[in-house]
Chain A
């Protein structure tokens, strides 16, 4: 059974801080790992990672995948209150095209 574990469960930071979110996984025939941001309702897509060691970057967010150690990290630099959300990590196996989600990390950025 595919498994995705995220840590920490939650964290509170102040504006301007940097946060690092972790996602470890066990999946048969890994295809890709995805990060989503869920603010109030629908998760929105952030990154899709398929290759080790190649950083994906979008503004203050970046992410990297380590397929040998089976984990990914999501970094947010110079955090803003608008970054407050639940960040979800999901993996896709080669069979099925479906996503298995981790439990999420709840981030609260205080002014």
Chain B
């Protein structure tokens, strides 16, 4: 089956620093990738939709200048959390779509970000 990886799997950073998270589709090309955020015991909240070669589409309430998304190739999208604060601590999950159907969306293992 389709595999999506994320790196790093967990990261701890200090307030004010920036952190980059990578999402890769390992055995398929993904024209669309999605970034989600998941707080403890809560569901996945879509942050943005990332299309290869174009600007990401952010959901309402998500600061695009704080959460920079770059989808430079058909297998890689990156999310950079700029000037991180403790409230940005969360579980970030990406997914990549391999085809036209919404069910053809495969999730990465997630990245646990802790901002101290």
Is B102 within 8 A of A41, CB to CB?
no
CB distance from B114 to the nearest CB of A (A): 16
Across the interface, which residues of B come within 8 angstroms of A90, CB to CB?
A: 44
Where chain A touches its partner, the secondary structure class is strand
Tell me the chain A residues, 63-111 only, with Cβ under 8 Å from chain B.
Answer: 88, 90, 92, 96-104, 106
A residues at B contact (CB < 8 Å): 31-32, 34, 36, 41-45, 48, 88, 90, 92, 96-104, 106
B→A interface (CB under 8 Å): 4, 32, 34, 41-46, 49, 93, 97, 101-103, 105-110
**What is the bound-complex CA distance between A99 and B102, given in angstroms?**
8
Contact of B102 among A43, A97, A101 (CB under 8 A): A97
**B43 contacts A88, CB within 8 Å?**
yes
A26, B84: Cα distance in complex, Å = 34
**A98-B42 in contact given A42-B107, A42-B109, A48-B102 (Cβ < 8 Å):** no
Note all chain A residues with C-beta closer than 8 A to B109. Answer: 41-42
Q: Is A103 touching B49 in the complex (CB atoms < 8 A)? A: no
Question: Across the interface, do A42 and B105 meet the contact criterion of CB distance under 8 Å?
Answer: no
B111 and chain A: residue at smallest CB distance:
A41
Q: Point out the residues of chain B lying under 8 angstroms from A43, CB to CB.
A: 44, 93, 107
Residue of B nearest to A32 (CB): B102
Which chain A residue lies CB-closest to B101? A48
Name the A residues within 8 Å of B106 (CB-CB): 42, 45
Complex-state Cα separation, A103 to B43, whole angstroms: 4
A104 near B43: Cβ-Cβ < 8 Å: yes
Query: Of the candidates A44, A96, A102, which one forms a contact with B107 in the assembled complex, judged by CB atoms under 8 Å apart?
Result: A44
| Choice from A42, A45, A101, A104 contacting B103 with Cβ under 8 Å | A45
Contact B4 A42 (CB under 8 A): yes
